[in-house]
């Protein structure tokens, strides 16, 4: 029997497949099903900074009702009912998930700014989270805000969460940073144990008839995996951070590529929404078959074998790849034209 266990954030995981944050794991039956299908850990759905802010303002409002002291408008935040869970429900779901399964349960905190809300990480830890994933989805819309400001804001946020808890903290990053290796090195310095590559952007779509901007959510396709592989392969061996891959992991081949790039785990969400939770078992069986056919004795042996530091020709990760790709395309086109 091939050894497919992996280490991630100091946790020994039975397989490389982790379920990333999804509302599927809001049901305890689904959580049990994920464990039975072979998921080695589950990241719970996120608790949002805005949700915590809104809950505490609503409490203030209740306490000061009948006085003029609560002047601030809540209008700029979505309605409390738009969020999936209140903080109390969140902690209760976390405790129930911990009791229901033996695999590690990671809590997810989603925000962009440092503030009192990061103390909630402590409560997640006390409720039994094995680790915390910090989703740092921030959008630059202010021309006065520089890239350096945004990175500092992120580092301050990560630093305060890492100081608040003893469990490992992984940072789910956006792809839109100019120097991901530099940022990763600084995340490590402020206490992060891992990075999760990458957050998907959910840009709103435009309805040109109704003249409205509408939220859209499409499931991923495997083509989204490529930038994740690229950056994991560059980071692997250069920073002392575990790497989780999320975005475009659908098949056994995608899992193997993620590990070969240097990831410790490959996370799935869209594939489970599309094919069902049992898809995890099929992917693991396909992956073991592939490894056994090639006489590997463990999945760990393949880790990082296609990373930038392992391949003889690093130009595939640099400008050389860009030039080769573009020029080989135009050559093919020219030949076809004759
Ligand atoms: C319906 C849905 C809800 C999600 N909710 C969250 C969330 O609360 N927090 C978070 O960090 N990511 C959330 N995600 C993003 C996923 O965790 C994952 O990173 C993303 O879908 C890319 O992985 P995939 O290609 O396997 O779908 C959500 C994704 C979907 C499809």
Question: DSSP character for 80?
Answer: G
Domain coordinates in residue numbering, the chain:
6-307
245 CA to centre of ligand 1 in angstroms: 12
14 CA to centre of ligand 1 in angstroms: 22
Quick check: 219 and 268 in contact, CB under 8 A? no
Q: What is the mean pLDDT of each run of 10 residues along the chain (338 residues)?
A: 96 98 96 98 92 66 46 48 75 97 96 81 96 88 90 94 96 94 98 96 85 88 96 96 98 98 98 98 98 97 95 78 71 60
The strand pair at 11-13 and 6-8 is best described as: antiparallel
200 CA to centre of ligand 1 in angstroms: 8
Residues with CB under 6 Å of ligand 1 are: 20-23, 45-46, 108, 110, 135, 172, 200, 217, 219-220, 246-249, 268-271
53 CA to centre of ligand 1 in angstroms: 22
The pLDDT of residue 214 is 86
The pLDDT of residue 60 is 53
The pLDDT of residue 336 is 61
The strand pair at 212-214 and 105-110 is best described as: unpaired
Residue by residue, DSSP assigns 270-329 as HHHHHH-TTHHHHHHHHHHHHHHHTT-SBGGGGTTTTSTTTSS-GGGGSHHHHHHHHHHH
26 CA to centre of ligand 1 in angstroms: 13
Using the atom order of ligand 1, give the atom closest to the CA of residue 224: 25
The pLDDT of residue 113 is 79
- Domain 6-307 sits in which CATH superfamily? Aldolase class I (3.20.20.70)
The pLDDT of residue 157 is 93
Residue 71 CB contacts under 8 Å (≥ 6 apart), including other chains: none
Quick check: 3 and 299 in contact, CB under 8 A? yes
The pLDDT of residue 72 is 42
Please identify which residue in the block is written with the tokens 């020029």: 327
Minimum CA distance residue for ligand 1 atom 25:
247
46 CA to centre of ligand 1 in angstroms: 9
44 CA to centre of ligand 1 in angstroms: 10
Using the atom order of ligand 1, give the atom closest to the CA of residue 271: 26
* Residue to substitute in 16, 18, 19, 22 for testing ligand 1 pocket (most ligand atoms within 8 angstroms of CB): 22
pTM (2 decimals)?
Answer: 0.89
Using the atom order of ligand 1, give the atom closest to the CA of residue 45: 8
Minimum CA distance residue for ligand 1 atom 15:
21
């Amino acid at each position: 029997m091939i050894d497919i266990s992996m280490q991630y954030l100091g946790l020994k995981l039975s397989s490389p497949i982790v379920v990333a944050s999804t509302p599927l794991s809001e049901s305890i039956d689904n959580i049990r099903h994920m464990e039975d299908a072979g998921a080695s850990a589950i990241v719970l759905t996120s608790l949002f900074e805005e949700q915590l802010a809104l809950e505490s303002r609503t409490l203030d409002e209740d306490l000061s009702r009948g006085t003029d002291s609560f002047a601030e408008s809540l209008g700029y935040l979505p309605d409390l009912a738009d969020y999936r869970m209140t903080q109390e429900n969140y902690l209760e779901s976390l405790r129930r998930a911990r009791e229901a399964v033996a695999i590690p349960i990671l809590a997810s905190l989603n925000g962009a700014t440092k503030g009192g809300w990061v103390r909630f990480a402590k409560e997640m830890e006390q409720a039994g989270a094995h680790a915390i994933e910090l989703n740092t989805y921030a959008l630059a819309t202010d021309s006065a805000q520089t890239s350096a400001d945004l990175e500092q804001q992120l580092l301050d946020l990560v630093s305060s969460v890492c100081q608040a808890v003893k469990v490992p903290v992984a940072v789910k990053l956006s792809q839109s940073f100019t120097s991901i290796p530099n940022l990763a090195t600084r995340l490590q310095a402020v206490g992060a144990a891992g990075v999760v590559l990458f957050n998907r952007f959910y840009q709103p779509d435009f309805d040109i008839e109704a003249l409205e901007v509408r939220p859209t959510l499409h499931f991923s396709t495997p083509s989204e995996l490529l930038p994740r592989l690229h950056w994991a392969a560059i980071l692997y061996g250069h920073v002392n951070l575990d790497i989780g891959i999320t975005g475009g992991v659908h098949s056994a081949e995608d899992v193997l590529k993620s590990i070969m790039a240097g990831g410790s785990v490959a996370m799935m969400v869209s594939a489970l929404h599309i094919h069902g939770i049992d898809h995890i078992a099929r992917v693991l069986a396909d992956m073991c078959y592939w490894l056994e056919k090639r006489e590997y004795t463990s999945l760990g042996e393949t880790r990082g074998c296609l990373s930038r530091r392992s391949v003889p020709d690093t130009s595939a990760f640099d400008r050389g790849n860009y030039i080769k790709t573009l020029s080989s395309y135009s050559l093919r086109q020219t030949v076809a034209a004759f």
